[in-house]
Amino acid sequence: MALTVERRRTNRAPYLLLIPAVGILLIGMGYPVVWQAITSLQEYGLQQQFGKAAPFVFLENYIELATNASFWAVVAKSIAFCLITAVATLAIGLGLALLMNVVGKAPRLILQIALLLAWSMPVVAAMTVWIWLFDRRRGAVNYLLDLIPGVDMNRFNWLETPTTFFIVASVIVIWMSVPFVAFSSYAGLTQISEEVMEAAQLDGANGWQRFWGIILPMIRPVIAIVFLLQIIWDLRVFTQITMLQDAGSKSSEFDLLGTYIFKLGTKAQDFGMASAVSILVLAITIVLSWFYIRSLLKEDEA
């Protein structure tokens, strides 16, 4: 009986240790979310910024969004953009992790330094370089492509049409995100026992079979959480799109959810509508990530 009571007291310790972290999260993140939720139910414009009372309109902002075709076009573009970039980032990052796992020490060190340099570069500095690379007059990308026989890229404007604009944005976002995926996947690969891999090879399994039958299942938790984080980050991408719009067109056709909310709040001064979109982005993020969260919960229970 005494052991049972002692065990119950001991089991409370992890929950008590979590209280400070949960408290900080509730204060740091809970208050902004609650404020956004309340503001989304109000008519909150420029006058309310200077102290005028904000009247409640309840669900009118959400109803207006539900009937706004341009908003749903932005949502569709944002979801497609985040899924495409997240999948591409995961594939490239996993490929680089496998490469680091099989090459020698010197090539691996060079690759890791290159990835760290790309990862540590400030976003604004990196965007300045990328905008120069795709510049229609002096860009290195157009110059190199123009050297290919039959390809005319002289003064081609990558930021003129939405299709080429988002191609450039995808390349930049993937380039900035690949190092995180590569290092996370490589850390998972280092935990795979060499004896297991050698035994599979002795049993006649080729590289592709070892990858699908051993490597991928063993690092699946790492891949799941990395892919989840990439979806969340790529859905909320803002700085890259804003700087590309500053260098090209600021039309609504070039907006994703981040820039759409920014324009509603800072330019249209419609903070109530901007808050409503923010709450919907939170809901979309939860829906997109729910499958992975549920699988992680099932693994923890098992």
Full-model pTM: 0.85
Residue 144 lies in a domain: yes
42, β-bridge pairs: 56
For residues 86 and 131, membership in a common domain is answered with: yes
For residues 103 and 216, membership in a common domain is answered with: yes
Q: Provide the domain limits for residue 290.
A: 31-67+270-302
Residue 235 lies in a domain: yes
Per-residue pLDDT of the chain (302 residues; tens, 9 = 90+): 444 545 555 578 888 888 888 888 888 888 888 888 898 898 888 787 777 888 888 889 899 998 989 999 999 999 999 999 999 999 999 999 999 988 888 999 999 999 999 888 999 999 999 999 999 888 899 999 988 888 888 889 999 999 999 999 999 999 999 999 999 999 988 888 778 777 877 777 777 888 888 888 888 888 888 998 898 899 989 999 999 999 888 888 999 999 999 998 888 788 889 999 999 988 888 887 787 777 767 766 66
For residues 148 and 178, membership in a common domain is answered with: yes
Would you say 293 and 228 are in contact if contact means Cβ atoms under 8 Å apart?
yes
Residue 293 lies in a domain: yes
For residues 55 and 115, membership in a common domain is answered with: no
Residue 224 lies in a domain: yes
* CA–CA distance, 168 with 137 (Å, rounded to integer): 16
pLDDT recorded at residue 1:
47
Residue 280 lies in a domain: yes
For residues 218 and 280, membership in a common domain is answered with: no
pLDDT recorded at residue 22:
86
For residues 174 and 124, membership in a common domain is answered with: yes
For residues 98 and 246, membership in a common domain is answered with: yes
Domain CATH code at residue 188: 1.10.3720.10
Residue 295 lies in a domain: yes
For residues 95 and 184, membership in a common domain is answered with: yes
For residues 41 and 121, membership in a common domain is answered with: no
For residues 179 and 96, membership in a common domain is answered with: yes
Q: How many domains would you assign to the chain?
A: 2
241: which residues sit within 8 A by CB, 6+ positions away? 169, 254, 255, 256, 258, 259
Residue 274 lies in a domain: yes
For residues 167 and 300, membership in a common domain is answered with: no
For residues 118 and 164, membership in a common domain is answered with: yes
Residue 55 lies in a domain: yes
